[in-house]
Amino acid sequence: MSHSALLIAKDATIGLRLNMNGNRNSVKAFLKYAEYAQLPSINADDKWISPFITMLQNFFRDNNDAIRLETVDPQHLGDKTDYDNGIYVLEDYEIVDRINSPADTSPEHRIHDRLLSIDSTQPLVNQLGDFLFGMDTPITSIKIGDQVFLPRLFPSYEYPGRYRIHTVLGFADNDPFNPLTSNKRFKGRPYVDMFNNQDNAVNPQSYITTDTVRVLSYPIYVISFAPANDLHGAGGFDWLPATTMNDGTEALDTFYRHVKDSRDEGGSHIVRLLRITDPNITADMQPKDVTDYIDADIDRWESKEHALKQFVPPNADADRVPTGGADEHITHPYR
């Protein structure tokens, strides 16, 4: 099957034809990346098209056949049937309708790896970088010392990326010498080390005014292998960082190695692959401390957390089947 699709804003007359990566998972990743990169919101005024094309051209490495503009009649979108994946009608950064789409049987996937792929092809000055590994956190949970991602005030080749990492310094509490503490917009809000040459507490640009903010975190992969029944011995786990595409490849190799071991031993273990972000796991922790933290709460990883992949042998006792579910259940013979 080919991979063409049309992306068009709701009620617009100009759309983008993709001749590659027109499947649902790819389109959702493109939209999420545009949102994270703060590209113009997608609507009928078409201001979103040029920056969106630039992002796609970088991803397709300037393949001139990958994208083209098309004019359409928004009242007769159903008449256009020459797209393998149909027409995606967009509003803001969401798919609000899909027209003439095929029966899409491809499974929904977490899009993190796709976002990493898109980001790696963008100019360094505009990449999202570690932002993609951050954890969205309510402002009410932020504390002094947290490191957070905030949009850059201006581009810099010395400090590339669309976001900067800042440290939370304090909150706008009652202070008669600081008018911001009585301002409804800033009262109780955290402020960060936005500037080095002034008091950030009195500068509105230093405050976080959104309801959530992305906090710097240290994502990891956990590969757990728990006994499938009482006939087999103890289980265990492996873990490794989840900060590069190579880490993902290594995690998959480790997962399938344990699946093979389980099959070779007659279905001895339930094997799960998880990608987790936990505020208690930080980049400055010693590996032994990370291992101890996971081990202390191993039941969560073995059963309750949602997994990327999992293998449950047919002979597993019912009470040992994970309750958290998984994106993909491995049932095919190991290969």
Do 23 and 69 fall within a single domain? yes
- Determine, yes or no, domain membership for 269: yes
Do 210 and 286 fall within a single domain? no
pLDDT tens string 3-14: 899 999 999 999
- Please tell me the predicted confidence (pLDDT) of residue 19: 94
Do 210 and 279 fall within a single domain? no
pLDDT bucket at 335, cuts 50 / 70 / 90: very low
| C-alpha distance from residue 94 to each of 5, 8, 28, 322 (Å) | 16, 11, 8, 32
Percent of the chain scoring above 90 in pLDDT = 59
CB 103 within 8 A of CB 82: no
Do 225 and 270 fall within a single domain? yes
Cα-Cα-Cα-Cα dihedral of 38, 41, 45, 47, to 10°?
20
Domain that holds residue 256: 220-329
Q: What is the mean pLDDT of residues 239-264?
A: 89
pLDDT tens string 180-238: 888 888 989 999 999 998 899 999 999 999 999 999 888 899 999 999 998 877 899 99
Work out the mean pLDDT of the chain and round it to a whole number.
89
- Determine, yes or no, domain membership for 163: yes
- Determine, yes or no, domain membership for 320: yes
- Determine, yes or no, domain membership for 261: yes
Do 143 and 196 fall within a single domain? yes
Do 232 and 325 fall within a single domain? yes
User: Which of 161, 182, 215 corresponds to the end of one domain?
Assistant: 215
User: Which of 215, 236, 267 corresponds to the end of one domain?
Assistant: 215
Do 211 and 224 fall within a single domain? no
| C-alpha distance from residue 165 to each of 23, 128, 145, 146, 216 (Å) | 34, 11, 12, 10, 8
Do 70 and 85 fall within a single domain? yes
Q: What is the mean pLDDT of residues 83-89?
A: 93
pLDDT tens string 324-334: 888 889 875 44
- Determine, yes or no, domain membership for 108: no
Radius of gyration of the chain (CA): 24
pLDDT tens string 142-173: 999 888 999 998 877 777 889 999 999 999 98
The count of residues in the chain is 335
- Determine, yes or no, domain membership for 87: yes
- Determine, yes or no, domain membership for 111: no
- Please tell me the predicted confidence (pLDDT) of residue 222: 95
How many folded domains does the chain comprise? 3
Do 40 and 133 fall within a single domain? no
| C-alpha distance from residue 81 to each of 9, 71, 78 (Å) | 18, 14, 7
275 against 154, higher pLDDT: 275
Is residue 60 scored above 70 in pLDDT?
Answer: yes
Do 139 and 200 fall within a single domain? yes
- Residues sharing a CB contact under 8 Å with residue 286, sequence separation 6 or more, in sequence order: none
- Determine, yes or no, domain membership for 10: yes
User: Which of 81, 99, 117 corresponds to the end of one domain?
Assistant: 99
pTM score over 0.75: no
Do 266 and 196 fall within a single domain? no
